Amino acid sequence: MELQFLGGASEVGRSAILVNDRLLLDYGTLTATPPQYPVGRVDPEAVVVSHGHLDHVGAVPALLSGDRRPTIHWTPPTAELARILAKDTLKLHGVSASGARGGSKRRGRFGGAMQCPFTADHVARLGEVETRHGYGEPFEAAGHEVTFFNAGHIPGSAHVLVDDGETRLLYTADFHTDDSRLLSGSTARPDADVVICESTYANVRHEDRASVEQRFVETARTTMWEGGTVVVPAFAIGRTQELLLVCAAHDLECYVDGMGTRVLSMLRQYPEFVRDSDALAQAARHAREVTGRDGQRTRIANKNTVIVTTSGMLSGGPAMTYIPEIRTNPINRISLTGYQVEGTPGRELLETGRCELNGGIYPVAAQTALFDFSAHADHDGLRAFLAAYEDATVVMNHGDSCAAFAKELRRDGFDAAAPGLGETVEC
Ligand SMILES: [Zn+2]
């Protein structure tokens, strides 16, 4: 089997692996200014997508340009998330969903500055070439037998098992071994000769999930009791719904705003891809949806309540309306709920107590803390997963310290490697 690493090799973002020059696993973007895409020009017969995050699916519509029509295989939630993300990407580039470029008022954040790698037409073509699969249902893709297994990362996320008749490859993609309220953790450990394993948190040990939740709830209650507002920036996919489940379970009054609301209603159509669909339905009823009409956000920002809103790293979305409203009062609270990438306003806020808001940099008096509701396995989770693959060849990707983790594995008797960008591995 030949594996070509077109992205996500010793980096986080733009995941793309070409198998035997025919089958592409993921085709993502690296969020930066400007965004970056996998290297090389590929023309695969089929594409298998592990999950609906931008760094795994963000560039997939670009594979449908000209007369290229590779079959796209994914789970139903991944198919829906791919469309939501693609439409959002078009919007950021100032292109409306119908394909028209906006005037100067509707140029979007990237409008005019750079070219979107795909058009609304490419997004519409997804429907012509896609095939949806559940977990544990083998299917054929570009001459390979492929099977998805629950990866416990976001709804619809999959480990991808690829068999070319000689070699069985397990591509873990992003995964979590612990249960959350939204999802069951990954438990499948199918036989494999080669494992491509993510390593986002290879250097991290997560705080116990129950104690993270307890701290989150207690601090929110204290703030509300003191008369303050709690703004909870959360990623739209997975994290927003997880936080709504937490609020419902602890009877914390909450509002929900931003793209996470759309993802929530989509997920309710696929109850088999969440851990407890009744709990999710109850959480959806418990949260009050913000429409954003008639100054509603400004009014809510002055209530004693919890507001779960995008974006998770304060780089846009309705959070940018709430933070200016609440920032000057030290009774108020900003509870960040995920990793804050360097260079984002969320990271800046944590490190300096100041935040870039709508072009200016302002001090924030509101209390700020980070709660690690991670959706990835940490160092010990990765090692526990790989314990099932001591006899396999292990290839680390999707991390900032792939080489160091591969070295640790070799020290412990594994056959482990960490290829660089563009490198080809024969196995
Ligand atoms: Zn992911």
pLDDT digits (tens, 9 = 90+) for 286-344: 999 999 898 999 999 999 999 999 999 999 999 999 999 999 999 999 999 998 988 89
Residue 172 shares a structural domain with residue 48: yes
Reported as a single tens digit per residue, the pLDDT across 144-170 is 999 999 999 999 999 999 999 999 999
Angle at 135 between CA 163 and CA 187, to 5 degrees: 90
- Cβ atoms of 357 and 328 within 8 Å: the answer is no
pLDDT of residue 160: 99
Q: Is the pLDDT of residue 105 over 60?
A: no
**Mean pLDDT for the stretch of residues 334-357:** 93
Quote the pLDDT of residue 32.
80
Residues 402, 331: one domain? no
My answer on whether 217 and 136 are in the same domain is no
- Asked if the model's pLDDT at residue 104 lies above 60, the reply is no
Residue 121 shares a structural domain with residue 18: yes
The confidence band for 92, taking pLDDT boundaries of 50, 70 and 90, is confident
Task: Mark whether 130 and 102 lie in a shared domain.
Answer: yes
What residues does the ion ligand 1 have nearby, CB within 5 Å? 53, 174
Regarding whether 142 and 175 lie in a shared domain, the answer is: yes
Assess whether 301 and 164 both reside in one domain.
no
CA of 363 to the centre of ligand 1 (A): 32
* pLDDT tens figures, 131-143: 999 999 999 999 9
Q: How far are the Cα atoms of 242, 244, 280, 292 from residue 283, in angstroms, in the given order?
A: 9, 6, 5, 20
CB atoms inside a 10 Å sphere around CB 365: 14
Looking at 370, 386, 410, which one is the last position of a domain? 370
* Burial 132-165, CB ≥16 within 10 A → b, else e: bbebeeebebbebebbbbbbbbbbbbbbbbbbbe
> 282 and 384 in one domain?
no
370, 390, 410: which is the final residue of a domain?
370
**Mean pLDDT on 340-359:** 92
What pLDDT score does 101 carry? 56
pLDDT digits (tens, 9 = 90+) for 372-426: 999 999 999 999 999 999 999 999 999 999 999 999 999 999 999 999 999 999 9
Compute CA distances 380 → 2, 74, 141, 205, 400, whole Å. 29, 29, 33, 7, 17
Residue 346 has pLDDT above 90, yes or no: yes
Same domain? 64 vs 195: yes
**Nearest to 161, CA basis, from 50, 276, 31, 291:** 50
Cis amide bond preceding 186, omega within 30: no
Model confidence at 34, in pLDDT bands (50, 70, 90)? confident
Full-model pTM: 0.95
Going by pLDDT thresholds of 50, 70 and 90, the confidence category of residue 123 is very high
Q: What is the mean pLDDT of residues 64-69?
A: 95
Whether 60 and 44 have beta carbons less than 8 Å apart is answered as no
pLDDT of residue 79 exceeding 80, the answer is yes
Phi–psi pair at 208, nearest 5 degrees? -50, 130
User: Residue 44 contacts by C-beta under 8 Å, 6 or more apart in sequence?
Assistant: 18, 22, 23, 24, 63, 70, 142
Mean pLDDT of the chain: 94
Q: Contact at 8 Å (CB) between 385 and 172?
A: yes
Cα 162 to ligand 1 centre (Å): 19
In this structure, are residues 238 and 267 in contact, taking their beta carbons and an 8 Å threshold?
A: no
Q: How far, in Å, from the CA of 301 to the mean position of ligand 1? A: 30
Q: Where among 351, 370, 389 does a domain terminate?
A: 370
Give the per-residue pLDDT at 106: 44
pLDDT at 348 > cutoff 90: yes
| CATH code of the domain in which 33 resides | 3.60.15.10
CATH code where residue 238 lies? 3.40.50.10890
Tell me the two tokens of residue 328. Answer: 């000057």
Binned at pLDDT 50, 70 and 90, residue 99 comes out as low
pLDDT at 102 over 80: no
The structure tokens 């991808």 sit at: 160
Torsion over CA of 206, 259, 85 and 185, rounded to 10 degrees? 30
Residue 402 Cα to ligand 1 midpoint, Å, equals: 17
Domain that holds residue 222: 209-370
Residue 113: the pLDDT is 46
Q: Can you tell me the mean pLDDT for 97-118? A: 59
User: Does residue 335 sit in the same domain as residue 312?
Assistant: yes
**pLDDT score recorded for residue 109:** 56
Query: Based on the domain organization, do 114 and 224 belong to the same domain?
Result: no
Q: Which residue has the higher pLDDT, 100 or 196?
A: 196
Please check whether residues 169 and 292 belong to one and the same domain.
no
- What DSSP string runs through 90-107? HHHTTB-TTSPBP-GGG-
pLDDT range class, residue 95, cuts 50, 70, 90:
confident
pLDDT above 70 coverage of the chain, percent: 96
Contact 337, 243 (CB under 8 A): yes
Expressed in angstroms and rounded, the spacing between residue 53 Cα and the centre of ligand 1 is 5
| Residue 44 alpha carbon to ligand 1 centre in Å | 22
- The number of distinct structural domains making up the chain is 2
Q: What is the pLDDT of residue 103?
A: 44
Query: How far apart are alpha carbons 135 and 426 in whole angstroms?
Result: 28
pLDDT over 60 (residue 111):
no
Tell how far the Cα of 193 is from the centroid of ligand 1, in angstroms.
24
Give the 3-state secondary structure of residue 340.
Answer: coil
From ligand 1's centre to the CA of 153, what distance in Å?
Answer: 7
pLDDT value at position 343?
Answer: 87
